[in-house]
Amino acid sequence: MTGVYKLTGSLQHYIWGGKNYIPNLLNIPKEPDQYYAEWWLGAHASSPSSIEIEGKSVLLTEFLAQNPAALGIRSRTVFGDELPYLFKILDVEKPLSIQLHPTKKQAEIGFAAENAKGVALTDPKRTYKDNNHKPEMMIALSDFWLLHGFKTKHKIIASLKLRPSLTILADKLHSQDLHRFYADIMRADQSQLAAWLHPIIETNETAYKKGELSLDNPDYWVL
């Protein structure tokens, strides 16, 4: 089957999303208390797009399963009978969670293991939503700040030492490798995190509220 089909994406309502940008972009009604975080165009199993065929809406996953030749010879040779990418538009109103993307092999093993355990794709505790790794290409449509990777251990220690409540962490990192240090920080309880961060919040809160705290300043992202 060949031709050009009308493609309709799927919406993702994560609570970190905005409420206006995507509805305005798509010219669709918006619910006042609803978040519109992402708009997907693709054939992801958890939320596939749909296409219109002879006036009927058909899931893109179903269409490709019945018409794999639509993917083209080059794509099928390299990636098999699946669409090898997912196009997304994001409206990030609040900071996203920290993400660790697996290798292709890790994703395949993890996805199969969770399937074997019967963990639903929609289960919030599920780690692997598909069997693919997550190489990404991002294009900013507006001002957008992304933290990617880690500074060198030496630079992190120097930055921690500039903040009195974090000097204890500088000493800790000095005696640990970065992997162990990061794991310990991520497992720290809320009271400990508050003890480290509250002094930074107090120091910068006034400047933050006045819009005088630069986004280049690491302290900005604490508030």
Domain assignment present for residue 121? The answer is no
Q: Give 41's strand partners.
A: 87
Query: How does DSSP classify residue 132?
Result: -
Domain assignment present for residue 143? The answer is no
The reply to whether 160 and 93 lie within a common domain is no
The reply to whether 93 and 13 lie within a common domain is yes
Whole-angstrom Cα distance, residue 47 to residue 61? 10
Domain boundary among 97, 127, 162: 97
Taking only the tens of pLDDT, the chain with its 223 residues reads 668 899 999 999 999 999 999 999 999 999 989 999 999 999 998 899 999 999 999 999 999 999 999 999 999 999 899 898 999 999 999 988 788 889 989 999 999 999 999 999 888 889 898 888 888 889 999 888 888 888 999 999 999 999 999 999 999 999 999 999 999 999 999 999 999 999 999 999 999 999 999 998 999 989 8
Whole-angstrom Cα distance, residue 223 to residue 204? 8
Whole-angstrom Cα distance, residue 10 to residue 133? 21
Domain assignment present for residue 48? The answer is yes
Domain assignment present for residue 102? The answer is no
Query: What domain count does the chain have?
Result: 2
Domain boundary among 50, 68, 97: 97
Whole-angstrom Cα distance, residue 148 to residue 76? 32
| Burial environment of residue 69 by CB neighbours within 10 A (0 to 12, 13 to 18, 19 or more) | exposed
Torsion, Cα 149 155 159 162, to 10 degrees, reads 180
Domain assignment present for residue 173? The answer is yes
Domain boundary among 97, 114, 137: 97
Q: Which residue type, as a one-letter code, is found at position 202?
A: E
Residues 6+ apart with CB under 8 A from 152: none
In whole angstroms, what separates CA 35 from the centre of its chain?
15
Nearest by Cα to 46 from 129, 114, 107, 147: 129
The boundaries of the domain holding residue 173 are: 153-221
Q: Which two tokens stand for residue 144?
A: 């957008």
Domain assignment present for residue 215? The answer is yes
pTM equals 0.80
The reply to whether 92 and 162 lie within a common domain is no
The CATH number linked to 60 is: 2.60.120.10
Within 13 Å and on the Cβ side, how many CA atoms surround 121? 8
